[in-house]
Chain A
């Protein structure tokens, strides 16, 4: 409206005033033209690219250093590969960088035969002179296993996943047999060992790059400017804005992925949703629960859904008074009505958590004891523990959305109002995600709303990292709770292969958690991902980070199929036949 009227009036001026207005008129027409031109359908970009709207900044580009799924999303399956890989559809372990592997009779020695045709990324900052070989495997494992390794302490020296499982103490040696054969010997048999090598965290780094950085005196850059073997090469990262990747032309497996992959870091779920609708994002992480219906209604969007192997909880810092008192912890858990949290925060897209593992796991205990909502009893317990009226505590609410807790801030506000009823004042605290977790690891919190996403289907992957003593320094035990009896139970559960016996042990652990209440389990949630329909082959990876190697762009805008994209498809046609 405005535009039309203004240009018309300008034209009428021109008619009367002669050429003196020519310049203004020209400028004006130009503006009007631009506006009209710009209002057309999106112009083709001429590049085969995918934009993924992620929810936060990765802490680094090395998933060994971090258990956050943001870090894993940004690096684990884009930049790196592992020796072994989970098949995303059935969870079987498949060879990846290892072309084959064998396990000795006694279950102590694992031999990996490596691929010979894998090269590391060639980027602006590194040009590899040799292909991937046994030295890279040894370097990658020794970095977290061997505290004396020159790279062990680079960038913190914490390897939370491996530390929390004490994997470094289970491996006796990592030996090079020849250039393409590696032998790993364990102290005692461990049936979950291969699964651990297939998780997001067991990535293979380049030894050659590490040596180069070390001789140049800037080893810390290994996790900031990453070099891997994966389907995408790292290009640029800008905090709170974007991460750019380009396609690895020499990837050893056939890929259908785009030439450019961009992570558009958008922390607000509503904004990610809006960008998905306008087409500025091709796929989004963690769509908000309230938007799910909208996504399903729209014909240009697809909602992917999977029951998640996760648990959201409220952990109390048991290393700090007065939260070291189980009575206080129980009282706080009693004061909060879990049902309303489930309704208000998850909008019914989650099941109530009674203990740590969800019902999808074989160790799930349907009759596990759980606390009801009882503010009167809560106040009594607080009085018994000597907590005065108007006692003030912090609740840390994580600043990012996760399936297991889509809106921690809202949950914290609800809890705040519940606790006010029993005379406890609450400060809600939130930092940037990376600082948040670092401060949690240091134990600066009173209590925290957070959760856990499993990396493999074994219940040990819940019980051990979340609550054992060993998991405190690595920062996955958010309750900072250390109980020898619990640790013994978890250790005992791994010694047997009998599911029935293990289930019984985990039930005992559940009882102990109920009694001690180091954390209040809240929910097991569904996992969602929303994509535009012109993106094909997108899947939810239940075992960790998002994957873009087999994702493909079908077209963008109206019916503009990309020449480049067709070319890529033709190139890969032979390889793709079995996939299509």
Chain B
């Protein structure tokens, strides 16, 4: 176990190092003035230029610069935006929880809907219920997320006018930012109309969550269905049947856990897809998350912001993937040998 932990930590540290190294070189590869790309400031005079070079240690060797870069990453001194001079650390700190929030809801909805449906479909395979679930999952999986979101907006926001199309909550609710998670912030706030605020926040959540969750749900349905079908063919299930156990006893005692085990690593693989989709959805629904922020930065060629934004997002995806992978191994050490090279 300890060996496993060390191995995964090692992998994580190495990947982080590679990512940091890559992002360190980005300003040199971006078009334009390297100093501006790093500092977010267009130097107006030779003195200012020299001073900035001094601050970012551009006059010293590459190793000094890299050391300084790592130091400023750790101390939260992430520089300022080229386009609006905002502190990047503060910006990301505000935007990131919003992204996490959407990821969490979409994942929750996908699990709650996808896994039971997958079981249902797998247990009852080749009957009408199974066919309709499979059809739904194929259709759901085939929709491009951005297109689905636009269709949702056209139908539910612009035609039927049922749901709002932008943001996390109506701005008239003056919810102070505490955690960055809107539902928690409402609970922590002292506004008078909390019930209305919750209802409004949920109304804002429905379309973005649904747009992301449909694809992920479809995937979970398919994974679960395949997994339970495999399990139900196993010898121990046949043995249990022959011993006269009821269908529900077999399912809960034997099939359920064994079918879930292979799903967890699949989840790890889907995390990056999920986050990519969330970032696209954020842009469409003006969700104030890191995806929308990053796309704005790209649009405005805000290189300091692009650099730090990409680093943070990739670090997040990478650590999440490795963590889930580690948990999977820890729960099911039997898989270790056979599939040790799945990452």
Contacts and interface: CB of A to CB of B under 8 A. Distances in A.
A435 B85 contact: yes
Contacts of A262: 171-172
B33 interface: no
Contact of A278 (B129, B161, B199): B161
B340 interface: no
Interface stretch (A16-24, A64-72, A87-95): A16-24
A45 interface: yes
Nearest to A429: B301
Interface in A516-561: none
Nearest to A2: B136
A518 to B, nearest CB: 24
A350 interface: no
Contacts of A241: 288
Given A43-B200, A432-B84, A444-B42, A266 B172 contact: no
Contact of B120 (A9, A31, A431): A9
A271 B172 contact: no
B86 interface: yes
Contacts of B178: none
A12 to B, nearest CB: 8
A27 B203 CA distance: 18
| Range for the number of chain A residues in contact with chain B | 35 or more
A243 to B, nearest CB: 9
A264 interface: yes
A51 interface: yes
Interface string B122-134: 0000000100110
A45 B172 contact: yes
Contacts of B164: 278-280
Contacts of A47: 172, 193
A43 B296 contact: no
B166 A46 contact: no
B116 interface: yes
Contact of B196 (A39, A43, A275, A399): A43
A274 B172 contact: no
Contacts of A24: 112, 116
A28 B111 CA distance: 12
Contacts, number: 114
Contacts of B182: none
Interface string A275-318: 10111100000000000000000000000000000000000000
A241 B168 CA distance: 11
Nearest to B85: A435
B90 to A, nearest CB: 10
A24 B113 CA distance: 9
A264 B85 CA distance: 20
A244 interface: yes
B84 to A, nearest CB: 4
B211 to A, nearest CB: 12
A404 B109 CA distance: 47
Given A266-B166, A274-B157, A442-B44, A35 B116 contact: no
Nearest to A278: B157
Interface string A396-416: 000100000000000000000
Contacts of A434: 84
B252 interface: yes
Nearest to A258: B172
A260 interface: yes
Contacts of A40: 162
A13 B120 CA distance: 8
A244 B120 CA distance: 50
A46 B193 contact: yes
Contacts of A39: 162-163
B271 to A, nearest CB: 23
Interface in B162-198: 162-167, 170-174, 192-193, 196
B165 A431 contact: no
A313 B158 CA distance: 35
A38 B203 CA distance: 6
Nearest to A435: B83
Nearest to B296: A240
Contacts of A27: 112
> Which of B82, B162, B171: most chain A Cβ within 10 A?
B171
A534 B133 CA distance: 45
A109 to B, nearest CB: 43
B199 A38 contact: yes
Given A34-B202, A431-B83, A434-B84, A51 B172 contact: yes
Contacts of A28: 112
A100 interface: no
B218 to A, nearest CB: 11
B261 to A, nearest CB: 20
B342 interface: no
A486 B158 CA distance: 53
Interface in A30-71: 31, 34-35, 37-40, 42-47, 49, 51, 57
Given A2-B136, A13-B116, A266-B166, A435 B172 contact: no
A20 B196 contact: no
Interface string A231-244: 00001100111101
A435 B300 CA distance: 11
B300 A430 contact: yes
A6 interface: yes
A5 interface: yes
B117 interface: yes
Contacts of A6: 113, 117
A51 B165 contact: no
B84 A240 contact: yes
B4 interface: no
B243 to A, nearest CB: 20
A360 interface: no
Interface string A1-16: 0100110011001000
B171 A43 contact: no
A264 B167 CA distance: 10
A280 B248 contact: no
B274 interface: no
A572 interface: no
Interface string B272-304: 000000000000001010000000100010000
A401 B241 CA distance: 71
A34 B157 CA distance: 17
B291 to A, nearest CB: 14
Contact of B166 (A18, A20, A275, A431): A275
B132 A260 contact: no
> Which of A18, A42, A430: most chain B Cβ within 10 A?
A42
A242 B169 CA distance: 12
A40 B164 CA distance: 12
Nearest to A243: B171
A24 B86 CA distance: 45
B248 A239 contact: no
B153 interface: yes
Contact of A51 (B82, B171, B202): B171
Given A45-B196, A240-B296, A242-B171, 15 more contacts: A9-B117, A34-B202, A38-B202, A39-B162, A43-B199, A43-B200, A45-B172, A45-B173, A47-B172, A260-B174, A274-B153, A275-B165, A277-B158, A280-B165, A430-B300
Interface of B: 42, 44, 82-86, 109, 112-113, 116-117, 120, 129, 132-133, 136, 153, 157-158, 161-167, 170-174, 192-193, 196, 199-200, 202-203, 206, 214, 248, 252, 286, 288, 296, 300
Instruction: State the 4 A-B residue pairs at the shortest beta-carbon distance, nearest first.
Output: A432-B83, A432-B84, A262-B171, A49-B172
10 contacts: A13-B116, A24-B112, A34-B202, A45-B193, A51-B171, A57-B84, A260-B174, A264-B171, A279-B164, A280-B167
